Structure 1
Amino acid sequence: MADTGTERKTTVQAVAARLWNGRWLLAAGIVAVAAAYGFAGMSVYVVLLACAVLLAAAMLPTGGASQSIQSDAAIEASGLQRLTGEYLAAAVADPLIIFDRTATIVHANAAAFAAFGGIAPGLSLPLKFRAPEMQALLDGVLSGSVASDAVDYTEKLPVERAYRVSASSVGHATDLFVLVFKDQSETRRIDRMRADFIANASHELRTPLASISGFIETLRGPARNDPAAREQFLQIMQNQTGRMARLIDDLLSLSRLEMKPYLKPGTEVDLRQTIDSVIDSLGPLARENGVVIERDYAEGPLDVPGDRDELFQVFENLLENACKYGQPGGRVTVSIAGGEAGPEPGIDVTIRDYGPGIPEEHIPRITERFYRVDVESSRTQKGTGLGLSIVKHILTRHNARLSIKSEVGKGAAFTVHLPAG
């Protein structure tokens, strides 16, 4: 009912405005008709008809632009009058809190309830947000020293979240203020990952560079005329440059994988043929480490959708690690079997070694970039610390996953779960 009354009032105001704008035209027309009636003896019906025409003409706008502006303004005013602060707050995806001059909450949207909980009208903001930066933000806005301000705020519970909080007054002379919390947690996490990645990559490259630089200095000085030392140092330098080359190759592979979108199932990959190729290519490494590679394949077709080169890289990394770090066990088993029963059947490929195994506390972090269970052993085996991170990224692109089971002294098993369709 209130909306109907408002619209009727707006219409009446618009009609009155049009009559007022055309008042001189209407008056002049009526005078002219009256004069003609007096001098020419016109019928009273003709006079009334002429007045009606003049009245309709007066209702027409004096200009098309004026009519459009007035019409748009009337529609806008009518629409905004139907909006409330509650509706506007609900339309904001970020947590939003409206409070008064006493720093008491007047309204909070659903996002604020989900983020902070325990928020209700009448609650004191300084009691809810006790951090010094939030207290300073509220004091500055409420005192009127600043019209708006923003600070960084970290919420510790239930999980740690980082926000950019902005505060400002609402309207003019309303004595209401608003807090908007912009979640920066994901941005901060990515920044930390980027900084850690750069630091780790720099460290990994700096070590062989320092070694090469030291040997070059020695060859140009004390070992200048020592053929035996020169041969030994050149071999070490070659090994270090090879290590840097492998690290750069892995960094480029990881970068390319991160830039690629998720793989759309298209081509089929024969797992039996792909894994046989991996085993053949790593045969010399297995013999060098005294490891025998055993096969245990399920019967029937073993095809999965995916990219053959990328899956080859996955199994090559896993089998190479098994041959290097599971060397004391003397053998590595590669098995292919049907996945767990369910609405989406799959195929599981397990590469198991019988070496020293991996302590349980290391398993959750083993696929992180540059994370090593044993740094010295990894460098001795010419590892870059990026192999399992590359495996994880490739499997994510294939909508697959990696599970790791290990027991100290009994080896480790890495299982790749691939969708079959």
Structure 2
Amino acid sequence: MPQAQFQYDDEALDRLSARDLAAAVPDPIVMVDARGTVRYVNEAAISFFGPIPQGTILTHRFRTPDMQRLMDAALREGRAGAIDYGERVPMERAFRIFATPLGAGSGLYMIHFKDQSETRRIDRMRADFIANASHELRTPLASISGFIETLRGPARNDEKARESFLQIMQTQTSRMARLIDDLLTLSRIEMKPHLPSREKLDLVDTIASVVDSLGYLAAEYGVEVVFARPSAPMLVSGSRDELIQVFVNLLENACKYGQAGGRVDITIERVEEGPNPEIATTFRDYGPGIAEEHIPRITERFYRIDAEKSRVKNGTGLGLAIVKHILTRHEGRLTVRSRPGEGAAFTVYLPEP
């Protein structure tokens, strides 16, 4: 099959102005003259920084020593350069700013703001994640190492101490195994943000199986799980195994952290408030509740309201992060309603197929 022939209009390309090209760039672009006075601002710059009127001295708008040095180098010496620049209001953002002479003898200079906010955020998350994971593994390892040293030394012939230490060591290794499993699960989910295929499943049967499988845990914590089972099926589409993991995490948390209330209520209902119907599944406990300032952060990796209490209850700090990522894959969402002393309600919303 003959390849299509394309004709390029060099004259049309020559007619394009610097203003035309800057307008097509999605990053903020500001053009200044030899005095550093703003001559043109593209729409992206207005969107990021608000109006910057023509005639504004650019360094009066971006008042940092680094910006002053960058502009001096560009305007006085004709040298291209780059700096890092950050703003904290109205929101925290980071930019890499490039200053470049525009054409030969034009007397104009292009100031290009490359948004680095998302990259910096991901870098911080990665650094925090590594630090937190290392800490979570180092703590039980240090404990196990200490017990081994004691067993090989002072407690070598102490049978009672040996049995006690071995039990603690088993608990710590189990905790590390759970943490590694959760880390692998989270990594696997993040590598595949979208589901390749979906199956239809009935949430009523799915929740019933989760309640049955965690009956031992509820009994261990002295919690009664009350499932208001609807008579009609509630259908959603997605991965059965992943959605079971969501509901297992939420019911485990409700039993562990709502233990003081002695009861967990589970309801499923069809919601038609928005443009598309959803199935809402709520896990309601009657425990100590969650203070308002913690709610926006409880799905972050390793975020704990009470770190010590979480470790005592064998929490890894990753359960709700896994829930959030799985629901994102399923185009679903999680909401949390709670007040201190009044328990907490975690609701999963999934779209109907």
Normalised to the residue count of structure 1, the TM-score between the two structures is: 0.80
Residue aligning to 1:153: 85
**8 Å Cα contact 1:297-1:337 kept in structure 2:** no
Residue aligning to 1:350: 282
The answer to whether residue 102 in structure 2 is matched with residue 173 in structure 1 is: no
Write the distance in 2 (CA, Å) between the matches of 1:343 and 1:165. Answer: 42
Write the distance in 2 (CA, Å) between the matches of 1:96 and 1:342. Answer: 39
Deviations 1:362-398 (A, max 9, x none): 1111111111111121111100011111111111111
Residue aligning to 1:382: 314
Residue identity opposite 1:96 in structure 2? I
The answer to whether residue 208 in structure 2 is matched with residue 276 in structure 1 is: yes
Measured after TM superposition, the shift of residue 124 of structure 1 is 0.9
Residue aligning to 2:23: 90
Residue aligning to 1:100: 33
Normalised to the residue count of structure 2, the TM-score between the two structures is: 0.94
The answer to whether residue 182 in structure 2 is matched with residue 266 in structure 1 is: no
The answer to whether residue 175 in structure 2 is matched with residue 243 in structure 1 is: yes
Measured after TM superposition, the shift of residue 270 of structure 1 is 1.5
Percent sequence identity over matched residues? 61
Residue aligning to 1:297: 229
| The one of 149, 155, 159 aligned to 1:217 | 149
| The one of 228, 232, 235 aligned to 2:164 | 232
Residue aligning to 2:51: 118
**8 Å Cα contact 1:405-1:414 kept in structure 2:** yes
**8 Å Cα contact 2:261-2:285 kept in structure 1:** yes
Residue aligning to 2:336: 404
Deviations 1:30-79 (A, max 9, x none): xxxxxxxxxxxxxxxxxxxxxxxxxxxxxxxxxxxxxxxxx99xx63x33
Structure 1 unaligned runs (5+)?
1-70
Measured after TM superposition, the shift of residue 337 of structure 1 is 1.4
Write the distance in 2 (CA, Å) between the matches of 1:341 and 1:102. Answer: 57
| The one of 75, 78, 82 aligned to 1:142 | 75
| The one of 313, 321, 326 aligned to 2:245 | 313
Residue aligning to 1:66: none
Q: Which has the higher contact order (CA 8 A, sep 6+)?
A: 2
**8 Å Cα contact 2:204-2:230 kept in structure 1:** no
What SS is found at the alignment partner of 1:333?
strand
Residue aligning to 1:39: none
Segments of 4+ moved more than 4 angstroms: none
Aligned residues: 347
**8 Å Cα contact 1:298-1:338 kept in structure 2:** no
What SS is found at the alignment partner of 2:305?
coil
Write the distance in 1 (CA, Å) between the matches of 2:167 and 2:174. Answer: 11
Measured after TM superposition, the shift of residue 121 of structure 1 is 1.8
Measured after TM superposition, the shift of residue 179 of structure 1 is 0.8
Aligned CA distance change for structure 1 residues 404 and 111 (closer, same or farther; 3 Å): same
> Bigger CA drift: 103-112 or 392-401?
103-112
Write the distance in 1 (CA, Å) between the matches of 2:153 and 2:20. Answer: 79
RMSD: 1.6
Measured after TM superposition, the shift of residue 277 of structure 1 is 1.2
Measured after TM superposition, the shift of residue 265 of structure 1 is 6.2
Residue identity opposite 1:356 in structure 2? P
Structure 2 unaligned runs (5+)?
1-6
Residue aligning to 1:190: 122
Measured after TM superposition, the shift of residue 420 of structure 1 is 1.4
Measured after TM superposition, the shift of residue 343 of structure 1 is 3.2
Write the distance in 1 (CA, Å) between the matches of 2:200 and 2:12. Answer: 57
Deviations 1:9-48 (A, max 9, x none): xxxxxxxxxxxxxxxxxxxxxxxxxxxxxxxxxxxxxxxx
**8 Å Cα contact 1:95-1:112 kept in structure 2:** yes
Write the distance in 1 (CA, Å) between the matches of 2:343 and 2:42. Answer: 53
The answer to whether residue 257 in structure 2 is matched with residue 322 in structure 1 is: no
Measured after TM superposition, the shift of residue 257 of structure 1 is 0.6
Identify the structure with the greater helix proportion: 1
Matches within 5 A, 1:358-373: 358-373=290-305
Write the distance in 2 (CA, Å) between the matches of 1:82 and 1:336. Answer: 63
**8 Å Cα contact 1:402-1:414 kept in structure 2:** yes
Aligned CA distance change for structure 1 residues 222 and 271 (closer, same or farther; 3 Å): same
Residue identity opposite 1:193 in structure 2? M
| The one of 42, 45, 58 aligned to 1:109 | 42
Write the distance in 2 (CA, Å) between the matches of 1:230 and 1:149. Answer: 66
Write the distance in 2 (CA, Å) between the matches of 1:343 and 1:153. Answer: 41
Aligned CA distance change for structure 1 residues 202 and 318 (closer, same or farther; 3 Å): same
**8 Å Cα contact 1:265-1:305 kept in structure 2:** no
Write the distance in 2 (CA, Å) between the matches of 1:339 and 1:308. Answer: 21
What SS is found at the alignment partner of 1:223?
coil
**8 Å Cα contact 1:97-1:180 kept in structure 2:** yes
Write the distance in 1 (CA, Å) between the matches of 2:302 and 2:124. Answer: 15
Write the distance in 2 (CA, Å) between the matches of 1:290 and 1:158. Answer: 48
Write the distance in 1 (CA, Å) between the matches of 2:89 and 2:145. Answer: 50
Aligned CA distance change for structure 1 residues 313 and 249 (closer, same or farther; 3 Å): same
